[in-house]
Amino acid sequence: MCYTIPALVENIKNKSATISYFGERKTAVCELTNIACGDYVYAQGGYIIEKLPPDEAKKILITWEDLFFQLQELDATRAALGSADISSDDILQGILERARQGVIPSQSEAVKLLNLESVASRGLVRKTANYLRQQYHKNSCCVHGILEISNYCVRNCAYCGICASSNVTRYRMSFTEIINAAGEAIDKFGFKSLVLQSGQECGYTIRELAEIVAAIKARFPVLIFVSFGEVGVEGLRQLYQAGARGLLLRFETSNAVLYEKLHPGYNLDSRLEHLKAAYAMGYLIATGGLVGLPGQTEEDLVNDILLTSSLHAEMFSFGPFLPHPASCLAKYPKPLEQDVLGVLALARLMCAEKTKILITTAYETLSSLAREHGLMAGGNSIMINVTPLKYRALYNIYPHRAHENETVALQIRQALAELKALGRGPTDLGS
């Protein structure tokens, strides 16, 4: 099973290639030296990651030819807005109509959208977000694998179950275990994009982490995102040189005062400097914040979305704060699913064209239908946990994580069935 279909290289100049999926064109960076016009390739996150033998590519494309267009049609039908999709609230109707024409809601309008009380109004915002997602990104949905290589951490984030002061049993996957798990995800299960995640200063030095990235890149065709916390500008450079091309690093909250309260000894500026340095180096940026933090306001959430956009995020990663029973925030409630959905939908309205919006595992933990709801509210990216089962429960950042005990094969089966039912293609197409 593959999570992106082969593309045909139509044009290539310097390191920029035009590739085509059944006639739909996209630009991709080509760092491989053996690619020429007429080749078939896999691309991910805007990077060409692998060349395929033409016969193999054509065989795969034959299986996709009809399905590709059928899924697009189903998605377009489901995402269409009808004559009944009109609000009796004139202000809301105006905001949504303008959003459909590409006008970004102002900050005060955005706050209004987060504060809507009527079920019908909230539903209409989500439908509009889904409409915009379809208009700009068609039915593509990225499927990344995430491998949690260690739960060691030196930080004491107030909400996190694996923070330094927690008494969770610690693990650090060995070099061989990491290579084997990555290899299984890529070779056996077909992932084209992997996130390697851990706590900060996770028991491996930056040099060792870079060796791990380089070893995976040397063995397998894959786009690697790193998510090891604040590794410093030199650390980012070493990881990039080793082959990492994406950084997943949430700023958690754009409210600097709240940030410092929740992250003793750290500040928001340093987090943002990392994200800016990474972007300048050429990393794809995945970032965002927590929704429902104690003390967080709707204005903060709107600022979170604006900040994510200003950081050039190619993927928005927003998920709920889930109280960990052993943390000092244990007594605070988790947000309602509808509030998280409201943020995802607003993010799509405010950044319709630019970005992928991730349906996070934390959000999926809120209800069994959360993934579907998120995908129908502007979301177009999901993650599948490929961490070996024996370590999953130890990556205990919050309780009752969705899919915690599910094998990779089961998660994939479920995800692909859900995507198919919604008309989504597990591809990396779109603008």
75 versus 201: smaller Cβ distance to ligand SAM: 201
402 versus 419: smaller Cβ distance to ligand SAM: 402
11 versus 205: smaller Cβ distance to ligand SAM: 205
Contact 422, 136 (CB under 8 A): no
12 versus 160: smaller Cβ distance to ligand SAM: 160
9 versus 358: smaller Cβ distance to ligand SAM: 358
Q: Report which DSSP code applies to 252.
A: B
Which long-range contacts does 85-89 make (Cβ < 8 Å, 24+ apart)?
A: 85/124, 85/127, 85/128, 87/120, 87/121, 87/124, 89/118, 89/121
What is the SS3 assignment for 173-234? CCHHHHHHHHHHHHHHCCCCEEEEEECCCCCCCHHHHHHHHHHHHHHCCCEEEEECCCCHHH
With tokens 């900040």, the residue in question is: 307
Query: Rounded distance, CA 75 to CA 83, Å?
Result: 18
Query: Rounded distance, CA 292 to CA 296, Å?
Result: 6
Tell me the closest approach of the beta carbon of residue 267 to ligand SAM, in angstroms.
Answer: 14
Backbone angles phi, psi at 417, to 5 degrees: -65, -40
C-alpha to C-alpha distances, 140 to 126, 314, 378, nearest whole angstrom:
18, 14, 12
24 versus 230: smaller Cβ distance to ligand SAM: 230
| Residue 38 CB burial class (10 angstroms; 0-12, 13-18, ≥19) | exposed
Tell me the closest approach of the beta carbon of residue 329 to ligand SAM, in angstroms.
Answer: 7
Tell me the closest approach of the beta carbon of residue 164 to ligand SAM, in angstroms.
Answer: 11
Tell me the closest approach of the beta carbon of residue 317 to ligand SAM, in angstroms.
Answer: 8
Query: Rounded distance, CA 79 to CA 423, Å?
Result: 10
* Of the candidates 321, 269, 316, the residue with the CA atom closest to the CA atom of residue 157: 321
Residues that bind ligand SAM (CB under 6 A): 159-160, 162, 197, 199-200, 227-229, 249-250, 252, 290, 319, 321-322, 324, 362, 397-398
Tell me the closest approach of the beta carbon of residue 363 to ligand SAM, in angstroms.
Answer: 9
Tell me the closest approach of the beta carbon of residue 250 to ligand SAM, in angstroms.
Answer: 4
Tell me the closest approach of the beta carbon of residue 373 to ligand SAM, in angstroms.
Answer: 18
Query: Rounded distance, CA 392 to CA 168, Å?
Result: 12
Tell me the closest approach of the beta carbon of residue 29 to ligand SAM, in angstroms.
Answer: 25
35 versus 382: smaller Cβ distance to ligand SAM: 382
Tell me the closest approach of the beta carbon of residue 24 to ligand SAM, in angstroms.
Answer: 34
* Amino acid (one-letter) located at 333: P
C-alpha to C-alpha distances, 223 to 15, 143, 184, 307, nearest whole angstrom:
16, 12, 15, 25
323 versus 378: smaller Cβ distance to ligand SAM: 323
Q: Which two tokens stand for residue 280?
A: 């300048």
Tell me the closest approach of the beta carbon of residue 78 to ligand SAM, in angstroms.
Answer: 30
140 versus 198: smaller Cβ distance to ligand SAM: 198
